[in-house]
Amino acid sequence: MIGRLNHVAIAVPDLEASIAQYRDTLGAVVGAPQDEPDHGVTVVFIELPNTKIELLYPLGDSSPITGFLEKNPAGGIHHICYEVDDILQARDHLLAQGARVLGTGEPKIGAHGKPVLFLHPKDFNGCLVELEQV
Amino acid sequence: MIGRLNHVAIAVPDLEASIAQYRDTLGAVVGAPQDEPDHGVTVVFIELPNTKIELLYPLGDSSPITGFLEKNPAGGIHHICYEVDDILQARDHLLAQGARVLGTGEPKIGAHGKPVLFLHPKDFNGCLVELEQV
């Protein structure tokens, strides 16, 4: 069912420092920051040859990243995102297997403009898992 | 400098349950467990089309995963691994940029039989970063 690893998302406490680090220290291709007010994040994509790293920084007063950074002041891996062909079929299969889908269970349009769902980290080895229909 | 994302490593408290979950719930291609006594881990590779997930489970009395699971009983992402062409050149560049390399600074032979180094998580947004020469 799951396909490619679309991205690994890393919450960062200092976006400019993280951009400089990935660009200069790690020598990666780093994109421009993109504000995503609907998701409460500023996002920076790091393009690797086979996948992406997504740096997440809080935007606005009710960012989902703020609480994560309070618990993890140095930052940390926030979620991993797997691609699926059909998100409703994937959701129904997961629910039938006993996995928990966060929120209402209805896909939302994610930061990439595509339907996404998040799965409960307690069901997946402490990892927040995003599924994105591609 | 960094190339492909070689793998995302996830420490898991119940290897059989995690294997079943990735195989049956997430529908992924899951390999057979491999004991790596030199590294204190049993490893299971999940083959995605573009990269791998590496499940890590403690092996032996002095496994580096035991302490991680004590702090994170549900499991969690343990490290991410980037490929580099020349690990000594990468190390020297990182040190010159002020990043800290764990251990002696000399590459060790990792679980895949290739030279690896680990970078200090405090320098990389709370993420333990492995570099592997490919």
**pLDDT category, B24, cuts 50, 70, 90?**
very high
CA nearest neighbour of B132 among B35, B49, B9 = B9
User: Which residues between 15 and 44 in chain A have a beta carbon less than 8 angstroms from any beta carbon of chain B?
Assistant: 18, 21, 24-28
CA nearest neighbour of A57 among A107, A95, A111, A102 = A111
Residues of A in contact with B27 (CB under 8 A): 1-2, 93
**pLDDT over threshold 90, residue B132:** yes
Quick check: is B54 catalytic? Answer: no
Task: Record the tokens describing residue B6, joined without a space.
Answer: 């070689």
Instruction: Among A26, A72, A82, A100, pick the best mutation site for testing chain B contact (most B Cβ within 10 A).
Output: A26
Angstroms from A100 CA to nearest CA on chain B = 11
Beta strands in B25-134 (DSSP E): 29-30, 34-36, 41-47, 52-58, 76-84, 108-109, 115-119, 129-133
Say how many CA atoms lie within 13 Å of B34 toward its Cβ: 13
* Residue A49 in contact with partner chain B when CB distance is under 8 A: yes
Rounded mean pLDDT of B103-117? 92
**pLDDT category, B111, cuts 50, 70, 90?**
confident
Contact A58, A66 (CB under 8 A): yes
Task: Record the tokens describing residue A88, joined without a space.
Answer: 């409703």
Residue B24 and residue A97: Cβ atoms within 8 Å? yes
Q: Where are the alpha helices (DSSP H) in B1-134?
A: 15-20, 64-71, 87-96
Backbone φ, ψ for residue B61 (5° rounding): -85, -20
Separation CA B14–CA A35 (nearest Å) = 39
Q: What is the ipTM of this complex?
A: 0.94
User: What integer pLDDT is reported at residue A111 of this predicted model?
Assistant: 80
Residues of B in contact with A76 (CB under 8 A): 125-127
User: What integer pLDDT is reported at residue B118 of this predicted model?
Assistant: 96
Separation CA B120–CA B126 (nearest Å) = 8
User: What integer pLDDT is reported at residue B49 of this predicted model?
Assistant: 98
* Residue A4 in contact with partner chain B when CB distance is under 8 A: yes
* pLDDT over 70, % of chain A: 100
Torsion of the alpha carbons at B124, B129, B133 and B134, rounded to the nearest 10: -110
Task: Record the tokens describing residue A7, joined without a space.
Answer: 């991205």
The parent domain of residue B34 ranges over 5-133
Rounded mean pLDDT of B40-62? 97
Please return the burial class of A125, using the count of CB atoms within 10 Å of its CB with bins 0-12, 13-18 and 19+. buried
The helix or strand, by DSSP H or E, that contains position A65, with its residue range, turns out to be helix A64-71
Number of structural domains (chain A) is 1
Rounded mean pLDDT of A30-59? 96
Q: At A75, which CATH number? A: 3.10.180.10
User: What integer pLDDT is reported at residue B110 of this predicted model?
Assistant: 86
Residue where the block lists tokens 């140095």: A74
Rounded mean pLDDT of A48-59? 98
Task: Record the tokens describing residue A68, joined without a space.
Answer: 């994560």
CA nearest neighbour of A89 among A81, A79, A78, A97 = A97
Separation CA A2–CA A132 (nearest Å) = 10
